[in-house]
Each structure stands twice: as structure tokens, then as C-alpha cells.
Amino acid sequence: MSDVTLYGFPLSTYVRTARIALAEKGVAYEHLPFEPNTDDMMAVNPTGKVPAFKHGDFVLYETLAITNYIDQAFDGPALQPADAKERAVMNQWISYINAYVFSAMVHEVILFRFEMLPMDQAVLDAGVIKSKDQLALLEATLSSNDYLAGSTASLADFFLYPILAYMGMIPEASLLADYPGVTAWKARMESKDSVTGSAPPL
């Protein structure tokens, strides 16, 4: 029986980020697919959001803290660059993805398309404009780099991929063709067992 538990429903992009990190490190874990804002979830994360994580009796929430801990506490390949500048770039991207990409692409586009929010065309239209700007910024890096920070995948890529995976499943997927570096990066990520093995049940 593993002493590691991940809490949170598998449709969540943040749960998938944590699952990719766990798989990359080869960590065996129990996955309890609690819905957000339930008593079960609140018991391990006072915000009610997913995911949360437990190792032995150590409980943690917030995906960046969880994935940093996974990287440092377990054997396996490093999930963060050793080089100070590359690590700073990785953290810049994670901050950007959490502050801007998640809200524009997930809250203003994807949730409408998956009918998890009642359609608001004005919000969707604004979300698509923001998404295009964000894809252009990502393209500026991914047109000449295999990954967001350095030559191997890092936590930044694991935060971004689950969001762009959903973008690839909705009508706005056609936008991705305008960003060949992003499209090639997405295919590169999809060649990883950690990514295919964490696909949500859709």
C-alpha cells in the first residue's frame, strides 16, 4: 500500500499536473477523485479546491507546492532545471500560466465549451482574444525551444499541457494551427507515458 495519496477529480487540469509529476518520478500513489468543495476535499484543503496531496501524515495543497515537494522528496529524474536562469524562467512560466492562462483558457473558453458553465458569448469572445495573445507568447519560446525552460520537460510544461490538451478538444482547437511551435510541443508532450497515462476520462 502506497503512503502517497492524491486527492481531486481527474478532469481538473491541476490534478493532471500533479499526476504527470508523480508519473515522471515513478511514484506509486492512491488517487481519491474527490470533487471540489465537498466535505472530503475540505478535510485536506481548506480552500476546497483540487488537488491536495498526502505523504505519510504530511498533507499539502496548492499544485506548485505539491509538485515541488514531489520533485524533491522522491527519486527519479529532476523536474526542474539545475541552472539558475532556466529555473527562473520555469517559475516565470508557472506564474504566468497560473495567473493568466488558466483564467483565460479554462474559465473563459474551455468551461463554456464543455458546458460546465452557461454560455456567455461576450466572455467567450474576450477569452479567445486573450488565448490568442497567450499562444503567441508561448510560440515565441516554443518555436525555437523544445520545452518552456531548458532542453527537457519541467514543471512549467506540466502546468501548461493539461490546459492546451483541453484547448485541442474544442472548436478553438483550430487556433492552434497558427502556432506551429506550440503544436509541435503539444505532440512532444503527448509522446510521454506520464501524459498519456494521466488523460482524463472523457
Ligand X SMILES: N[C@@H](CCC(=O)N[C@@H](CS)C(=O)NCC(=O)O)C(=O)O
Contact call for residue 33 and ligand X (CB under 6 A): no
Burial of 64 (0-12, 13-18, 19+ CB in 10 A): middle
Nearer to ligand X, 63 or 134 (CB): 63
Largest CA-CA distance found in the chain, in angstroms, rounded = 49
Q: Which stretch binds ligand X (CB under 6 A): 57-65, 69-77, 137-145, 171-179?
A: 57-65
Single residue of 21, 53, 55, 63 touching ligand X by CB under 6 A: 63
163-to-25, 101, 110 alpha-carbon distances in Å: 21, 8, 9
Pull the grid cell for residue 178. 497558427
Q: Is 194 in the site for ligand X (CB under 6 A)?
A: no
Distance CA 93, CA 8 (A): 24
Under the criterion CB under 6 A, does residue 13 sit at the interface with ligand X? Answer: yes
Q: Which stretch binds ligand X (CB under 6 A): 43-51, 131-139, 141-149, 163-171?
A: 43-51
**Contact between 192 and ligand X (CB under 6 A)?**
no
2 binds ligand X, rule: CB under 6 A: no
Please give the C-alpha separations between residue 85 and each of 17, 66, 88, 92, 155, in angstroms, as whole numbers: 23, 22, 5, 10, 15
Please, what is the minimum distance in Å from the beta carbon of residue 98 to ligand X? Answer: 6
Segment interacting with ligand X (CB under 6 A) among 58-66, 86-94, 139-147, 186-194: 58-66
The answer to whether 135 touches 68, Cβ cutoff 8 Å, is no
Binding site for ligand X (CB under 6 A): 12-14, 36-37, 48-50, 62-64
